[in-house]
Structure 1
């Protein structure tokens, strides 16, 4: 039978001495981590301050050299409801460069549509993508027509009013940009990182479309971004495009709120001022930074207008699910709050 040896007094002292030493080491590491963390936070603050000052200086120079264009009037809201008082709703319209087949020899249409809603109470920004192949009632047209044709028929105001009626919410502001503006914007911020889910190859010489992208994670330039956004020769067609637009928008917003984008703000403003059709006063740089800060500090998600495919491939909104989505974006006001 083995005899259990008692530890000697000296060994007991050694064991007891190790515990305070271990504690000191752990506290030392914690202090080092806190010190490094504080340094990183302070360094980031200084860097952001310098970038902000640089961007402000550049923008001040730009304003002196380039007087701002006249601001277009806001669109009168077609829907008046207290539940929308604390929101700003903006319709983002992506304009195609190609003529609309069947309705004229030339003209442009709304190739992509997205509602941006800013909640001034919570600071949250929400996004709702709308498929262009929704058939709906359009003012001045005898029969329901595609939502994308509204820009051809009446420009941004008609598109805004049609979407406002479709969703039953007030929209008074809009930003419309074409492919060239988007390409310049993407190139200015250094490209967008995204995972291309499949090989994309499509040629249409008559329409001026050439798409060749490889599957895999990559940084898309402005031209590559256009190819990714235009591709629709898969099983989902236009709805597949909307999913890619959602994915691209999320990647673009992630890049937009990164610190490396801040020095490019004056150039971005120049691109927007020269290439956008909008009734928003562009642009006080402090307002842009406030928006970027809101996006940085709040989670954002992009969802698509609920619906189903129709017999002809149209996207038919599901009224019950659309109403649910709108109620989630804009919670109904209780009677007590309304009073």
Structure 2
């Protein structure tokens, strides 16, 4: 029996209704997903800005550049003084000394980062104190400000930014990153850990502290310890620059919030992450060396004028300074 016109019309209407219903469901799902992604992005942004506000601390230091570096222009090299202080190590709570001093120069034009280790016993003028002493005493005398001014004077370069991390912070940051991988240059034991020369190993926070702390069993003494510290820093930089660390952003932020201060603002960090990440994968390590000498019964590292000038020129070239 032939279908009536009204039946055909009703069938067509039902099909349109079903198609419209499916379309609305897809649209709703899409909007829910979009809102979920938007909330996640907002949450990340909120967490990051909240943490950077808490760890940000500006320090008035002597101006060396004619004008401040502007990393929003992604062709400008910049420098960072990394201070690893012994607050938080072995239960200390007072402001101690800068157990680790490193200068990082980052050049986006050559996609290269240079890490210079400064021996903590280096004998130099302490700017603002009016005398010569061990460079790590600058932090004990005048905190970050005096440390920055002293390093600038000694190396004849500007220090654009600083990052101060206590020893507990190193442990927490490495844990938040899911560990870092290094290849020990020698075999040794420290605390309950054993490290074997030439065998790559992934270290958690406690192991990283032990690896970077050992000094007395190393034939190179404090220089060997500094080399292992540079390994940890370099491995951490590469991990932070990788996409995998984003999944752990909340843990990383929590570790930074409790254990770090810096004059890098949120916008600076975003610009560095976006425009300077390539330099994190190409790291050159430099060790400042001196000769051990006692003055009035106190041990100092005396760095020759030639050594200091060579290092200064190398860093100035990296910073594209005439």
TM-score after normalising by structure 1: 0.68
Q: Is contact 1:229-1:244 (8 Å) kept?
A: yes
The equivalent residue for 1:9 is none
The correspondence for 1:127, drawn from 111, 115, 121, is 115
Aligned counterparts of 2:221 and 2:230: Cα–Cα separation in 1: 15
Confirm or deny that 1:245 pairs with 2:229.
Answer: yes
Q: Is contact 2:157-2:316 (8 Å) kept?
A: no
The equivalent residue for 2:20 is none
The equivalent residue for 1:327 is 313
The equivalent residue for 2:8 is none
The equivalent residue for 1:90 is 80
The equivalent residue for 2:300 is 314
The correspondence for 1:117, drawn from 80, 89, 105, is 105
Q: Is contact 1:98-1:107 (8 Å) kept?
A: no
Q: How do residues 149-160 of structure 1 correspond to structure 2 at under 5 angstroms?
A: 149-160=137-148
The equivalent residue for 2:58 is 73
Q: Which SS does the other structure have where 2:183 is aligned?
A: strand
Aligned counterparts of 2:95 and 2:249: Cα–Cα separation in 1: 31
**Structure with higher RCO (Cα < 8 A, 6+ apart):** 2
Confirm or deny that 1:235 pairs with 2:219.
Answer: yes
Q: Is contact 1:128-1:302 (8 Å) kept?
A: yes
Q: Which SS does the other structure have where 1:92 is aligned?
A: strand
Q: Is contact 2:157-2:315 (8 Å) kept?
A: no
The correspondence for 1:261, drawn from 229, 245, 253, is 245
Query: In the comparison of the two structures, how many residue pairs are matched?
Result: 270
The equivalent residue for 2:285 is 302
Q: Is contact 2:181-2:202 (8 Å) kept?
A: yes
Superposition CA RMSD, Å: 3.4
Using the TM superposition, give the Cα deviation of residue 158 of structure 1 relative to its aligned residue in structure 2, in angstroms.
0.8
1:169-198 residue CA offsets vs partner (Å, 9 max, x unmatched): 121421101111111110111111112334
Q: Which SS does the other structure have where 1:223 is aligned?
A: helix
Q: How do residues 1-339 of structure 1 correspond to structure 2 at under 5 angstroms?
A: 56-62=41-47, 68-69=53-54, 71-80=56-65, 86-97=76-87, 107-119=95-107, 121-141=109-129, 143-201=131-189, 210=191, 212-215=193-196, 216-233=199-216, 234-282=218-266, 286-287=270-271, 289-290=273-274, 293-295=277-279, 299-305=282-288, 307-312=289-294, 314-331=300-317
Alpha carbons of 1:88 and 1:55: their partners in 2 closer, same or farther (altered >3 Å)? farther
The equivalent residue for 1:32 is none
Of 61-70 and 155-164, deviating more is 61-70
Q: Which SS does the other structure have where 1:115 is aligned?
A: strand
The equivalent residue for 2:23 is none
1:85-125 residue CA offsets vs partner (Å, 9 max, x unmatched): 943221010011379xxxxx954110111111233555543
Unaligned runs of 5+ in 1: 1-51, 100-104, 203-209, 335-339
Aligned counterparts of 2:283 and 2:40: Cα–Cα separation in 1: 25
Q: Which SS does the other structure have where 1:69 is aligned?
A: helix
Alpha carbons of 1:136 and 1:285: their partners in 2 closer, same or farther (altered >3 Å)? closer
